[in-house]
């Protein structure tokens, strides 16, 4: 039932570089028509680096790895496109539903198709006040049992970053900073927390991927934490003030569960005059280009 586009299928068969891209940023992360423009821009960036983009989504109950322009337009513009984590995939398939894939669902479908490198913005993680809410993103558990390399800008700064790093360690998910010894904070180049390992070239990342295979360890992911450039990050002082206000507003309005993340992110966009969205897009663009270079190095291995 997995539909792999002809372009992606041929690239995989020829051992050419392929980069998986999620589709939630298209359907749920950006306003129309900006969402489609960004989707096409990210695919173009992958191609400019010499790799093949594989945007992933579920359409009419069929998981697709690699979308054509018409399908991208559908994800961007069609009302009722659901947001699918990996747990939702069997339900969406059985119901014939259409949905955009989150990090966990994208990683799962990419791995099923044989795509080893995946670019995204920021991972989900452990939410603040976890001891009360027990709220943790499904991304973490899925990455603990999926052999894929995820290039990201760390985890969303609205989360409990140190708790997320601890959880990743407990789950056995490898984490390395790319040309940094600090863990990025999505909108910020530095979350305030260190990483134990630093990788400096796409070839070094590919060597770690090779070692993962050779050691025959658990089928876990490699997270390559690539910071947004300092010149394009959200001003740290503004970030701290607006996030504090957002958390207060969230508590005052009684927002809970899955509604917390979109509430906080929307608050950040509105109260930073769009600066948080610009930092988000800068991070995604950088991650996509790095992922394409990593995929190219991996194809050589």
The residues carrying an active-site annotation are 22, 156
For the chain, the first-to-last Cα distance in angstroms comes to: 30
Cβ atoms within 10 Å of 193's Cβ, excluding its own: 14
d(CA 127, CA 253): 17
In the three-class reduction of DSSP (H, G, I as helix; E, B as strand; rest coil), residue 151 is classed as: strand
d(CA 100, CA 23): 5
Q: Tokens 């980069």 sit at which residue? A: 19
- Residue 172, sorted as left (phi over 0), alpha (psi -120 to 50) or beta, turns out to be left
User: Helices 69-77 and 34-48, interaxial angle, to 10°?
Assistant: 150
CA distances from 292 to 18, 27, 119, 202 (A): 7, 23, 8, 9
Characterize the bridge pairing of strands 182-185 and 188-194: antiparallel
Dihedral angle computed from the Cα positions of residues 185, 137, 269 and 278, in that order, rounded to the nearest 10 degrees: 50
User: Helices 275-300 and 260-271, interaxial angle, to 10°?
Assistant: 120
């Amino acid at each position: 039932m997995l539909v792999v586009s002809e372009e992606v299928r041929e690239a995989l068969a020829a051992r050419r570089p392929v980069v998986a891209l999620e589709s939630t940023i298209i359907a749920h992360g950006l306003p129309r028509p900006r969402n489609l423009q960004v989707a096409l821009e990210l695919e173009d960036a992958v191609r400019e680096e010499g790799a093949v983009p594989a945007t992933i989504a579920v359409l009419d109950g069929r998981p697709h790895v690699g979308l054509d322009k018409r399908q991208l337009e559908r994800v961007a513009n069609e009302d009722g496109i659901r947001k699918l984590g990996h747990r939702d995939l069997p339900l969406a398939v059985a119901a014939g539903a259409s949905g955009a894939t989150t990090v966990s669902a994208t990683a799962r479908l990419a791995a099923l198709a044989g795509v080893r490198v995946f670019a995204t913005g920021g991972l989900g993680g452990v939410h603040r006040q976890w001891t009360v809410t027990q709220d943790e993103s499904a991304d973490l558990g899925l990455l603990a049992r999926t052999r894929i390399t995820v290039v990201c800008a760390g985890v969303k700064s609205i989360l409990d970053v140190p708790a997320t790093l601890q959880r990743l360690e407990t789950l056995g998910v490898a984490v390395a900073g790319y040309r940094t010894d600090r863990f990025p904070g999505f909108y910020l180049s530095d979350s305030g927390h260190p990483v134990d390992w630093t990788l400096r070239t796409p070839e070094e990342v590919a060597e770690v991927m090779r070692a993962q295979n050779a050691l025959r360890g658990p089928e876990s992911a490699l997270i390559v934490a690539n910071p947004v450039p300092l010149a394009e990050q959200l001003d740290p002082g503004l970030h701290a003030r607006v996030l504090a206000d957002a958390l207060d507003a969230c508590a005052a309005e009684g927002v809970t569960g899955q509604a917390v993340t979109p509430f906080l992110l929307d608050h950040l966009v509105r109260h930073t005059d769009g600066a948080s969205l610009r930092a988000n897009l800068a991070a995604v663009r950088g991650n996509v280009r790095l992922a394409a270079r990593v995929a190219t190095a991996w194809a050589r291995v």
